[in-house]
């Protein structure tokens, strides 16, 4: 299960959490672009 689904299941998927998850994804794509190659 991914972080987003855990937050939703626990009723914690707020705008603040969504923005935080977006930032983490953005940083991960910058730091580890090879992991996101298709």
Residue 16 CA to residue 33 CA, distance in Å, equals 25
Domain ranges of the chain: 3-36
Look at residue 32 and give its three-state secondary structure: coil
| pLDDT, tens digit only, all 38 positions of the chain | 788 999 999 999 999 999 999 999 999 999 999 998 87
Residue 11 CA to residue 26 CA, distance in Å, equals 24
Task: State residue 1's pLDDT score.
Answer: 79
Residue 24 CA to residue 36 CA, distance in Å, equals 13
Instruction: Give kind and range of the element (H or E) at residue 10.
Output: none
């Amino acid at each position: 299960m991914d972080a987003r689904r855990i937050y939703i299941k626990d009723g914690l998927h707020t705008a603040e959490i969504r923005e935080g998850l977006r930032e983490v994804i953005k940083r991960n794509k910058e730091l580890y672009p090879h992991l996101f190659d298709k």
